[in-house]
A and B are shown apart, each in its own frame.
Chain A
Amino acid sequence: MTDLLRARDLTARFDTEDGRVHAVESVSFTVEAGESFGLVGESGSGKSATALSIAGLLPAAGTITGGSLWFRTPELAATPGEHDVDGEFVDLTTLPANARRSLRGTEIAMVFQDPMSSFDPSATVGSQIAKAVEVQQRASARPRSTRSKTETYGLGSLIRDSLLPTRSFVSESSRERAIELLERVGIPDPARRAEQHPTEFSGGMLQRAMIAQAIAGKPRLLLADEPTTALDVTIQAQILSLLNEIQDDTGLSVVLITHDLGVVAHHSDRVGVMYAGELVERAPIDRLFDAPVHPYTQGLLSAVPDLDTTATPSPSLSGRMTGLHAHELPEGCYFADRCPQAMTDCRAHPEERPVAETDRHSARCVLTDRAFDPDRALEPGAAHEMERDHQ
């Protein structure tokens, strides 16, 4: 399989009034062409921040402060930015804003958690999808490398488009394509629906529409950030199988973000588990379920009731995740205060290491190369001390 995206030591921070938030800490993973990569972790573990970093959509307070995001796009060979030796990958973090934008929609698209707030309430759903189509049509009409600066869409052409009745940002063919896309994602009566506003849609229908707008630009990578969290259980399954179906049809790669390991079990090929901004374990799905190494992963698995896993059941997780402000982060393993297997070894921050001989399974935990030794176990009190410090 060819790789589509290689995140290497990706690090992102948010600047806030009470200091820097270490939202993404040296995260590395690879997304192969056509595969579904699951990103799991509890609330605030940095899943969204990771996805937004890849899409180049971090809010103003957020910045990528380190690492690289190698994305396979030979077409961008002529743009400024870091390239790897054979010119097939470009480092997204080094691209100028314009080049970054030209990849959005057409190469990397995103589906967000809350469909209701993710559409402009005063524009029709169809028009918003049509605009996404239009971006792609313009891009494919002019290969990226030959596009000149003057051809970018400016305020002048916007005013012309708005004032001249014969001109419009969105062409007739884009509008028709938007209706086809609505039909493709299973929205009945798409022509009528296209003319409606988001408030006239149900949550599930709107999430379908968001998927339509995400695939409008024929992207190769789809970042789905908890696409079903805001929906009813029955509808969740429908949306996930729609994503599967689209992936089978188009061969795009999906990064599926969820806090539900059960979802990942059915829909992902490989999984990364995030905790406190770090990727603590990464493995093909079967391996993760059969032989999880990180105690956090083990805890997550035992919390999923109807999962047929051979992993030894471990007590479910208690306590809560450390805060991510620089001053809140402990020196050693970030999970130590909740870890049932914490040892004195864990006072040094663990590196990410391959598990056994395979490099497709790795974990950021001392248990990768040694077994739990009760003699060196940390007093459970250490955990509670840390918690009290935060309060």
Chain B
Amino acid sequence: MVSGRFLARRFGHGVVVVWAIVTVVFLLRYSTPGSVVTTIAPLDASPQLKAQIARELSLHEPLHVQYATYLGDLLRLDLGHSYVNNTSVRQLLASRLPQTLDLAIAATIVAIVIAIPLGVVSATRRHTPTDYAATSFSLVGISTPNFWLGLVLVLVFSVGMGWFPVSGPARANGEVISAIDVLYAPQLAGRWLTHLALPAVTLGTYFTALLTRLTRSGVVEELDQSYVRTLRSSGLPPVVIRYQHVLRNALVPVVTVLGLQLGTLIGGAVITERVFAWHGLGSLLIDAINDRDWMVVQGCLIVIGVGFVVINAVVDGIYTRLDPEVSME
């Protein structure tokens, strides 16, 4: 029943936002003093390299021509060349994106699997020890810094117990492996998971705590609605009422936050990636900034921005399923 018009309008919004992001990123190259070429070229670039860069990006042309070249390249999914690493930016990003997605999705799954049942149980047993335990957990989880949590987990479970590797992504034959590789070679799943576990828990803890709290308060509010009494009056099992009706209605705000947070996970896992020497977009971006690798910085910003928009569009899609009125408005 999701109306086509609603989806079309939503898609239109997305396109406009992507265009805005891309344009802002383009304008960033003028935000530093000095000529554009010196901004984009590596510090030690030779005059020949600078000339080549200027030619490739039409940097000596008027602004609108530069912009057109820039947009044209993007439309062809050409993100330019990393003059520091001497590879194409697209390739660099493509090698890092799966790692970032692994981590973000794993952290989200950890959060959803733990937070939603915990929030529901906590709300339905308000003011019992279970509820107090869950609320204390979310309080601690929200206020624990990621780097500290990561280090503690490593100390206890990797160094102490020896259950997990200390850091770094899983590798096979020297190559970093991600979820996609595991699909093709299921025997790697165990290794992949042991490497992913601690970073995912580290990244997911704050998120889990936040979602638990949101789910709890959403469910508490929904439980007071009259329709719950009607459902109870027809003898429905509490589990059906809680998960098929109350939770479903309580999820609307939860899904919003989920979407926003997932967006930040794409680019915001910098600290966790550092602690665990994870090869994701976050560490790529930091390295690129340190190396003054402009084209890579630009590529990261675009991918992170677009990722954010796409995730929010998906969340809106879920919204319309949860709340039929959204699509009717």
* A interface residue numbers (CB < 8 A to B): 55, 57, 101-106, 109-110, 112, 114, 117-123, 128, 131-132, 135-136, 139, 152-155, 158, 169, 197, 199, 210, 213-214, 216-217
Contact = CB atoms under 8 A, between A and B. Distances in A.
Given A102-B235, A120-B227, A217-B234, A158 B240 contact: yes
A158 B236 CA distance: 12
Nearest to B322: A122
A197 B326 CA distance: 13
Contact of A155 (B229, B230, B239): B239
Contact of B231 (A128, A158, A199): A128
B329 to A, nearest CB: 12
Contact of B234 (A114, A117, A132): A132
A121 B234 CA distance: 17
15 contacts: A57-B233, A105-B234, A109-B233, A110-B230, A112-B230, A117-B225, A120-B231, A121-B227, A121-B249, A121-B325, A122-B323, A123-B248, A154-B239, A217-B234, A217-B235
A131 B229 contact: no
B143 interface: no
Contact of B244 (A106, A119, A135, A169): A169
A118 B226 contact: yes
B235 to A, nearest CB: 3
Nearest to B232: A57
B230 A213 contact: yes
B249 A153 contact: no
Interface string B218-256: 000000011101111111111110011100110000000
Contacts of A132: 234-236
A243 to B, nearest CB: 16
B235 A103 contact: yes
A135 B227 contact: no
B256 to A, nearest CB: 15
B234 A104 contact: yes
Contacts of B236: 105, 131-132, 135
A110 B230 CA distance: 8
Nearest to B324: A197
A154 B323 CA distance: 26
A213 B234 contact: yes
Contact of A57 (B225, B227, B229, B240): B229
Given A122-B248, A154-B239, A158-B243, A112 B234 contact: no
Interface residues of B, number: 25
Contacts of B230: 110, 112, 118-119, 128, 210, 213
Contacts of A104: 232-235
B247 to A, nearest CB: 11
A333 B81 CA distance: 92
Nearest to A106: B235
Interface string B164-179: 0000000000000000
Contacts of B239: 153-155, 158
A197 B236 CA distance: 19
A122 B323 CA distance: 6
A119 B235 contact: no
8 nearest A-B pairs in the assembled complex, by CB-CB distance? A105-B235, A132-B234, A104-B235, A105-B234, A153-B237, A110-B233, A117-B226, A120-B227
Given A55-B233, A112-B229, A118-B227, 7 more contacts: A57-B232, A112-B230, A131-B231, A135-B236, A152-B237, A155-B243, A217-B235
Contact of B324 (A55, A122, A152): A122
Contacts of A121: 227, 249, 325
B233 A120 contact: no
A2 B152 CA distance: 71
A141 B117 CA distance: 31
